[in-house]
Amino acid sequence: MTRLSQADLPGKTRPENGVVHLGLGAFFRAHVAMYLADVMDASGGNWGVVGVSLRSPSTRDKLAAQDNVYTAAELGPEGAQYRVMGDVTKVLVAPESPADVLAAMAVPAIRIVTLTVTEKGYHHEPASGLLRTDDPDILHDLTNPNAPRTALGFLVRALDLRRKAGHRPFTVLSCDNLPENGHMVRALVQEFAQLIDPALADWIASEVRFPSCMVDRIVPATTQADIDSVEADTGRLDLAPVMHEPFCQWVVEDDFVDGDRPPLETVGVQMVNDVTPFEKMKLRCLNGTHSSLAYLGYLAGHATIHDAVSDPVFAALCAKVWQAEIIPTLTPPQDTDLTAYAATLLDRYRNPSIRHATWQIAMDGSQKLPQRLLGTISDNLDQNRPCAGLMLAVAAWMKYASGQDETGHPIDVRDPLADRTRGLWDGNASAEARVDAYLDLGDVFGELANRAEFRQALITACDLLETHGARGAVERITS
Ligand code: CS2
């Protein structure tokens, strides 16, 4: 079988690079890279991407053997459509050569550094948003500026190099599912820079731009079955395809260094002054129910989001939490009907071609809970509005993170706090004791841990989950 290669992009020259991307996962390659490719197809420009893997060489190795081109497979309910992508021109693996990454970021032609490093990649406390200065990787980067390990270490050192060389800075564009992601990364970069060189921190404060953005596209991890089906359909072996749904949305705060950016608005990106209502809507409605379905669905034996929402009890859970618990906490973005938005989400979850594992979404729950569930719960408590669905989802996270499913089988929990949550559910006999043990995780629960009505509602949810199991408990609160 023929390996995918540059020859599969007939007539196309590769662009010059204008972007460095940190965290070269499937999401970036199916989302931001696609918009950049659309821009260059429509109006040219040099917005090629230097992709950086911050940990493993595996994506680089697969892409290297196929000229860094890859297939993006759009999976609609009726089947797949394929597109060969060529805007990632080069891939670097940070641990192999941090100096090459810094050199790439220091080049003046690079005008934007985008990031998808996941929630934990910012090394901040999820509840407070503050930099974890006791984190070993952050400590390493503060003392080894020329060989960073973290995205923050790379950003600060690369900005320092540009400043010292008299170049303009790049725009830092976080594309992770975090509230006010740009403003958050700005605060972290500033805090980090301040610890190294206050003059650098001042320059960053006045010259660098950190737009926030909301990103949305469901892109499950690629499996061997996906690789096989792409090969069967296209006749090309691609070891690094990305599988994505048709839906795609990007809402970006229009605040770039010297206004230097691709004309994203010409390819469907919403350029706005304030991203907050969009990201709150998306984080709470989509990611909030994704995480709820992940923990409750996994415990009930559902392997994917599609499987979970095919179970009427879980579809009813989504409907209930959207209408009664999430939408009442939101201000609709302009021209957006939140009920219609939620209905579209359910259609997307029902797409039978997208096999998005509940286990995948369940990862890193301790970093996801605050912005996906806890903020919404807090708003409901302020309004004295009951939110049994979201409370049950938090209880399900507690049970899941403890590491044993309802049949007594171990769960492979992937979470930076996994060592602290392991065994906490079964190790505490009463719902009260359980809840208190988890509420001690101050960096997850923050202020909520001190609210008596939160503790009480969580005890009720834990009792319900323990007595009826995940499916039974969902059935009870939705009927
Ligand atoms: C998911 C997201 O893995 C997860 O936690 O909730 O990756 C989700 O698929 C995207 O945010 C959709 O835009």
List pLDDT tens digits, range 163-191: 999 999 999 999 999 999 999 999 999 99
Shared-domain flag, residues 283 and 266: no
The tally of CA atoms less than 13 A away on the side-chain side of residue 38 is: 15
Instruction: Provide the strand spans (E) within 8-129.
Output: 17-22, 48-53, 70-76, 79-85, 88-93, 112-115
- pLDDT of residue 127 exceeding 90, the answer is no
Shared-domain flag, residues 163 and 230: yes
Shared-domain flag, residues 306 and 428: yes
- 19: Cβ contacts below 8 Å, ≥ 6 apart: 36, 47, 48, 49, 50, 110, 111, 112, 113, 114
| Residue 12, pLDDT score | 85
pTM (2 decimals)? Answer: 0.97
Instruction: Pick the closest to residue 247 from 121, 382, 349, 96 (CA basis).
Output: 349
Ligand 1 pocket test, pick from 75, 290, 355 with the greatest ligand atom count within 8 Å of Cβ, gives 290
Instruction: Pick the closest to residue 192 from 162, 238, 160, 226 (CA basis).
Output: 160
Shared-domain flag, residues 23 and 45: yes
Shared-domain flag, residues 147 and 294: no
Atom of ligand 1 nearest to the CA of 361: 3
How far does the centroid of ligand 1 lie from the alpha carbon of residue 155, in Å?
Answer: 25
Instruction: Pick the closest to residue 175 from 282, 63, 309 (CA basis).
Output: 282
**Where does residue 47 rank: exposed (0-12), middle (13-18), buried (19+ CB within 10 A)?**
buried
How far does the centroid of ligand 1 lie from the alpha carbon of residue 179, in Å?
Answer: 14
d(CA 57, CA 76): 31
- Residue 219 · residue 48 · CB < 8 Å: no
Instruction: Pick the closest to residue 135 from 144, 147, 122 (CA basis).
Output: 122
| Residues spanned by the domain of 54 | 2-272
CATH of the domain at 163: 3.40.50.720
- Residue 435 · residue 459 · CB < 8 Å: yes
Q: pLDDT class for 128, splitting at 50, 70, 90?
A: confident
CATH of the domain at 355: 1.10.1040.10
**Domain final position from 209, 244, 272:** 272
Closest residue by Cα to atom 6, ligand 1, is 287
Q: Give the binding-site residues of ligand 1, using a 6 Å CB cut-off.
A: 177, 216-218, 286-287, 290, 360-361
Rounded to an integer, the average pLDDT of 78-105 is 97
Shared-domain flag, residues 317 and 181: no
Q: pLDDT class for 137, splitting at 50, 70, 90?
A: very high
Decide the pairing of beta strands 88-93 and 112-115. Answer: unpaired
Shared-domain flag, residues 347 and 224: no
Strands ordered across the beta sheet of 242-244: 79-85, 70-76, 242-244
Shared-domain flag, residues 259 and 403: no
3 state SS of 338: helix
Rounded to an integer, the average pLDDT of 57-78 is 96
Shared-domain flag, residues 263 and 281: no
Domain count, the chain: 2
- pLDDT of residue 282 exceeding 80, the answer is yes
Ligand 1 pocket test, pick from 35, 213, 218 with the greatest ligand atom count within 8 Å of Cβ, gives 218
Phi, psi of 28 (to 5 degrees): -60, -45
- Residue 326 · residue 288 · CB < 8 Å: yes
Shared-domain flag, residues 146 and 220: yes
- Residue 404 · residue 411 · CB < 8 Å: yes
d(CA 57, CA 52): 10
| Residue 443, pLDDT score | 85
To the nearest 5 percent, what fractions of the chain are helix, strand and coil?
A: 55, 15, 35
Atom of ligand 1 nearest to the CA of 216: 13
* CB count in 10 Å sphere of residue 374: 23
Shared-domain flag, residues 250 and 284: no
